[in-house]
């Protein structure tokens, strides 16, 4: 069952002025309950404008966004409740930390939902565990945390609201490889445990290949591809023509296939090894 649907969704910046620009252009897509969707596209492709319409931060110029089958703008005065159901984690969310302690910061969202303080605190502690923040950090000031810990605390603040849909806009930006891997692992664990819908926006094709069930590709404000992850990356040459960099292992497998080898595009090194080992065991040398 779709949790989010868009019907001919369009958004114009500067409508009615000489500087009018179409940022999202007649996008009609369906995002299923419980899926992990990757969202990719080059800078200016419309990704951020699209996701900000999913929870009503931006109101469509035309078209509709449906949340669990209901137009989110049917009752504009209730749009705030939509933002509790569709949680948004912006790029560099640690810049939004402001409370005296990490626990209070994570509690902020649940308390805004009207939950009692003890229930909000319970949710905050559970969310902190999901993102790998130990209990001893919860009493500290957010500004005493490392960069990666701040990122996880900010994400926990959205998770604590238990949204139907969790949207993460470049959550690994600026993190070192270890921090990026840890955060992706924790987000995947959250998705498996809660079975909530997760939408990951990322410039890292490796990150998307690692965690997403399906991938949506935006270009020029349009949804140009939406399919299973492996099928999207099998179209690596088309992705490159859109200015997107496919994972190196995928590029290698695509090149081998173009040279006549019986292989399919792989998303990870392990998948590539599974395909290449049988060919090597047959004793066939790769042709240059």
pLDDT, tens digit (0-9, with 9 covering 90-100), for 40-52: 999 899 999 999 9
**Rounded-to-integer distance, Cα 70 and Cα 68, Å:** 6
Residue 89 placed within a domain: yes
| Residue among 49, 41, 42, 48 at smallest CA distance from 13 | 49
Q: Please, are residues 184 and 210 in contact by the beta-carbon 8 Å criterion?
A: yes
At 85-121, the pLDDT tens digits run 999 998 887 887 888 999 999 999 999 999 999 999 9
Q: Are residues 153 and 177 in the same domain?
A: no
For residue 236, tell me if it sits in a domain.
no
Same domain as 169, residue 41: yes
Instruction: Domain count for the chain, please give it.
Output: 3
Does one domain contain both 136 and 253?
A: no
Could you tell me if residue 26 is inside a domain? yes
Whether residues 212 and 185 share a domain: the answer is yes
pLDDT for 9: 98
In whole angstroms, what is the distance from residue 263 CA to residue 251 CA?
12
Structural domain includes residue 76? yes
| Strand pairing report for 21-32 and 2-13 | antiparallel
3-state secondary structure of 194: helix
Same domain, 114 and 203: no
Residue 267: what pLDDT? 67
| Segments of the chain with pLDDT less than 50 | 288
Residue 32 lies in a domain: yes
Same-domain pairing of 41 and 170: yes
Alpha helices (H) along the chain: 47-54, 79-85, 102-112, 117-130, 147-159, 177-194, 205-211, 229-233, 236-241, 248-258, 269-281
**pTM of structure:** 0.89
Residues 34 and 129 in one domain: no
Report the candidate in 237, 286, 281, 282 with the shortest Cα–Cα distance to residue 261. 286
CATH of the domain at 223: 3.40.50.300
Structural domain containing residue 204: 1-93+164-229
Q: Do 264 and 188 share a structural domain?
A: no
Per-residue pLDDT, 172: 87
CA distance 186 to 228: 22
Report d(CA 141, CA 236) in Å as an integer: 45
Return the pLDDT at 255.
83
């Amino acid at each position: 069952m779709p949790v989010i649907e868009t019907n001919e969704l369009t958004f114009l910046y500067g409508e009615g002025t000489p500087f009018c620009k179409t940022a999202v252009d007649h996008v009609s897509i369906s995002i299923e309950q419980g899926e992990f969707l990757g969202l990719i596209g080059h800078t200016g492709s419309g990704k951020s404008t699209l996701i900000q319409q999913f929870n009503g931060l931006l109101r469509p110029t035309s078209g509709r966004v449906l949340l669990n089958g209901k137009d989110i703008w049917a009752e504009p005065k209730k749009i705030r409740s939509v933002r509790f159901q569709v949680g948004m984690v912006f790029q560099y969310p640690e810049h939004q930390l402001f409370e005296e302690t990490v626990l209070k910061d994570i509690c902020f969202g649940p308390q805004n939902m009207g939950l009692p303080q003890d229930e909000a605190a319970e949710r905050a502690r559970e969310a902190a565990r999901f993102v790998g923040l130990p209990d001893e950090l919860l009493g500290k000031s957010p500004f005493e945390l490392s960069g990666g810990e701040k990122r996880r605390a900010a994400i926990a603040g959205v998770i604590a609201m238990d949204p139907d849909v969790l949207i993460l806009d470049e959550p690994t930006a600026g993190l070192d490889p270890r921090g990026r891997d840890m955060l992706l692992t924790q987000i995947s664990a959250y998705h498996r445990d809660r079975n909530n819908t997760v939408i990951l926006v990322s410039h890292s094709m490796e990150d998307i290949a690692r965690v997403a069930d399906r991938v949506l590709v935006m270009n020029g404000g349009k949804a140009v591809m939406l399919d299973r992850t492996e099928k999207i990356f099998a179209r690596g040459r088309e992705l490159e023509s859109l200015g997107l960099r496919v994972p190196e292992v995928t590029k290698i497998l695509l090149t081998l296939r173009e040279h006549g080898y019986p292989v399919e595009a792989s998303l990870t090194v392990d998948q590539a090894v599974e395909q290449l080992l049988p060919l090597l065991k047959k004793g066939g040398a790769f042709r240059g």
